[in-house]
């Protein structure tokens, strides 16, 4: 990435997407900040970002976003597919409409953005597509079945397309973070089904993930990188030995549930203090 790189970021309203947009703008990149609601990304406009409402599940919306980049800068160098969705739940209790929501946003959105970007980047002879997966792309997570399935798909799709586009000087990287301290993580604290999310050490910060993307992924253009590396290795072992993962599940779930209860207790204490 150069200081004048032209970058489109999805999910730029909060979490990793918002932090990544801020860092790219600070580093001098030209950024098209997108989210489902235009007003949600307005905070980036004073920093110099171009803004665009983007429903990642709609191919016409993607084409419109690229048309805006064409008018502003003559195209794009980098696409960062960050937008995501998660709602915990067990399969036997699930609202079946959640299947569509997870697959449409997490997988279909990435596939659409990648394919539309790939056409243009192949034509211009260069480019870099960065897709955000998860450690749930490597190992199944009970209680997050739909999310895990969608993120497995993101990883498989990204690795496949990376092989196709290499000959055209277009890189595809998939980033696989552990739990990150974002609104998505906060939402999970109140769901017993999401206990495994909290079974590791302290969650990553958005700055941890952004630093990895900007200082390593956009520089070295690796096909795949997990953060933190040791949790990534454990996730790979778990998916190779599902019987082992099944045996560890009760212990990890108990550990995660204790952390959830501590988080919820801390939130309740803060709320009570704020009302005094």
| Number of other residues whose CB lies within 10 A of the CB of residue 267 | 13
Q: Quick check: is 85 catalytic?
A: no
Q: How many residues does the chain have?
A: 276
Burial 240-254 (b: 16+ CB within 10 A, else e): eeeeebeeebeebbe
If residue 1 lies in a helix (H) or strand (E), which one and from where to where? Answer: none
| Number of other residues whose CB lies within 10 A of the CB of residue 32 | 26
| Number of other residues whose CB lies within 10 A of the CB of residue 262 | 12
CA 21, CA 188: separation in Å to the nearest integer? 24
Cα separation values, 144 from 55, 74, 102, 164, 196, Å? 23, 40, 10, 30, 9
CA 128, CA 7: separation in Å to the nearest integer? 9
Q: Is 130:81 a contact under the CB 8 Å cutoff?
A: yes
The phi, psi pair for 111, rounded to 5°, reads -65, -45
Q: Of the listed 85, 90, 147, 191, which one is catalytic? A: 147
Q: Strand pairing partners for 246?
A: none
Catalytic residues: 147
């Amino acid at each position: 990435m150069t200081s004048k790189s032209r970058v489109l970021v999805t999910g730029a309203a909060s979490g990793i997407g918002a932090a990544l947009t801020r860092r790219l703008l600070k580093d001098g990149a030209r950024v098209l900040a997108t989210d489902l609601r235009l007003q949600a990304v307005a905070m980036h406009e004073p920093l110099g970002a171009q803004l665009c409402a983007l429903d990642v599940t709609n191919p016409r919306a993607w084409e419109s976003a690229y048309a805006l980049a064409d008018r502003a800068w003559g195209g794009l160098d980098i696409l960062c597919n960050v937008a995501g969705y998660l709602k915990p739940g067990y399969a036997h209790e699930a609202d079946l409409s959640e299947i569509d929501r997870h697959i449409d946003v997490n997988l279909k959105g990435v596939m659409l953005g990648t394919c539309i970007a790939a056409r243009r980047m192949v034509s211009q002879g260069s480019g870099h597509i960065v897709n955000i997966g998860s450690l749930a792309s490597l190992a199944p997570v009970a209680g997050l079945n739909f999310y895990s399935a969608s993120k497995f798909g993101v990883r498989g799709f990204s690795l496949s397309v990376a092989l196709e586009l290499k000959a055209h000087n277009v890189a595809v990287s998939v980033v696989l973070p552990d739990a990150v301290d974002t609104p998505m993580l906060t939402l999970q604290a109140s769901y017993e089904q999401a206990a495994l999310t909290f079974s590791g050490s302290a969650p990553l910060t958005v700055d941890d993930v952004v630093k990895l993307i900007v200082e390593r992924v956009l520089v070295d253009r690796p096909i795949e990188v997990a953060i933190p590396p040791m949790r990534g290795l454990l996730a790979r072992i778990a998916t190779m030995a599902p019987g082992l993962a099944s045996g560890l599940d009760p212990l990890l779930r108990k550990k995660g549930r204790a952390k959830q209860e501590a988080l919820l207790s801390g939130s309740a204490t803060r709320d009570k203090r704020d009302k005094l």
